[in-house]
Structure 1
Amino acid sequence: MKMSIAFWKDMFKFQGKLARKAYWVGSIVNAILLALLFYAISYSAGFIGEFRGTASETTERWVLIIFIVEYLVYFLACMSATVKRLRDAGFSPWFVLGLFFPLLNMVVIVLLVMETKQHHHETREAK
């Protein structure tokens, strides 16, 4: 839970660093929570489950607005966390733009898995 809190702490601030474990655990936990929230709202609005087809046009609009707001908040948190993680790994935060391009996003994901740069230097100095 601490990792998920670290993910959301200062989510609109793009300064600072975020450790590898906190980034990945926070990303996975929050993706699962977001999916569950989408499912719960869809189910309660009647889009899926036993109430299928009972949603009114007004309900559909409100649910769509709620989905968009939730996704934008999650998107900003993910971008902020990715910038912090790239900085922690010793790379330029501008690499976050690579996530928007199909083949370049795989390179960015590899960069996000890399060790923290400071930890890497400490292990070299210890040898």
Structure 2
Amino acid sequence: MYCQKCGHQLDDNQQQCAFCGTVQELGQPDIETKKCKKCERDIPVNANYCSYCGMDQALIVWKERPQDEPEPEKTIAGLDDASNSELNNLVANMKKAGIEVRVIKRDPKDLLPHKRPGLINSTRRFLRDSFKVQGRMGLADYWWGYLGMVILLLVVIELLMSFVKNTTLLELLLLVTTVVYFVPTFTASIRRFRDAGVPVGYMILRFIPFVGELIIWFFALRPSLEVRQQMEKEIERQLEQLKRQYDEQNHEHKDEQDAQDAQDDKSDDDDKHHQNQP
């Protein structure tokens, strides 16, 4: 048995903690209870520690799901390399603060060879969705595909310069090549903006000579919007839980202080009563 306030181990029949003086509420009738985050047994609602296993209720415990169970319906969408880095930093900071967290892994289907972001797969998506402006594109997919388009552009230009000798025909083919390069990268940037939460209207900056494409790249570096929102919600949830825990401890301390003040006032009244007696 453990103290519900300070977590020190108690004897089986010990009702008052020798360390903090708290009277244990476990076993008393008509008390409000909650589930322990570790053993899931009923403990007093204002308990800081589980009376059975001693688990600190301020910590967050995630139970690992067996691999043979189906994937949960709610997952983090659009997780990519950049967002992984930010998520790792968040997890590291939470661990430093003494908070245990579990990172939700990607859907295994997203890790299949034909779906995994890469030079060939992502470039194929660029070309396949050349005229598609709806939908979204992840960060890794975007940069792999963009790299593939640049490589294709350079290879085609080199081949045209080497084998086409007619100047007029060469200029025409170079123009067609530029259009074929521009359209997929333009529509892919729109899908990347949607995924990153950047207003699509900013794509007008793409037409600025010389620096337009660099500006688009800058906005495209942002991680997925859903990942950022998920991280922000997780931080808000952690802060709300810590605030609630802090308020409960303060409320408990205030109740104890009020009870002590009332007892002191009663003692003072008794002393005055005895002094006034003849």
TM-superposition CA deviations, 1:26-60 (whole Å, max 9, x none): 11111011111110111112xxxxxxxxx3xxx22
Using the size of structure 2 for normalisation, the TM-score is 0.38
Cα distance in structure 1, aligned partners of 2:208 and 2:172: 27
Cα distance in structure 1, aligned partners of 2:213 and 2:170: 30
Residue 123 (structure 2) pairs with residue 123 (structure 1):
no
More displaced 10-residue stretch of structure 1: 4-13 or 97-106: 97-106
Q: Structure 1: 5+ residue runs without aligned partners?
A: 46-54
Count of residue pairs the alignment pairs up: 115
Cα distance in structure 1, aligned partners of 2:197 and 2:137: 11
Corresponding residue number in structure 1 for 2:155: 36
Cα distance in structure 1, aligned partners of 2:146 and 2:212: 20
Cα distance in structure 2, aligned partners of 1:86 and 1:11: 15
> Highest Rg: 1 or 2?
2
> Cα offset for 1:124?
2.8
TM-superposition CA deviations, 1:75-121 (whole Å, max 9, x none): 11111011111111001111111122366765543211000101112
> Cα offset for 1:65?
1.1
Verify the 8 A CA contact 1:7 1:22 in the aligned structure 2. no
Corresponding residue number in structure 2 for 1:17: 136
Which residues of 2 match residues 66-105 of structure 1 at below 5 A?
A: 66-101=173-208
Cα distance in structure 2, aligned partners of 1:63 and 1:110: 33
Corresponding residue number in structure 1 for 2:220: 112
Using the size of structure 1 for normalisation, the TM-score is 0.79
Percent identical pairs in the alignment equals 21
Q: Structure 2: 5+ residue runs without aligned partners?
A: 1-119, 236-278
Corresponding residue number in structure 2 for 1:64: 171
Cα distance in structure 2, aligned partners of 1:67 and 1:104: 20
**Bigger helix share:** 1
Tell me how large the CA RMSD over aligned residues is: 1.9
Cα distance in structure 1, aligned partners of 2:141 and 2:181: 16
More displaced 10-residue stretch of structure 1: 32-41 or 116-125: 116-125
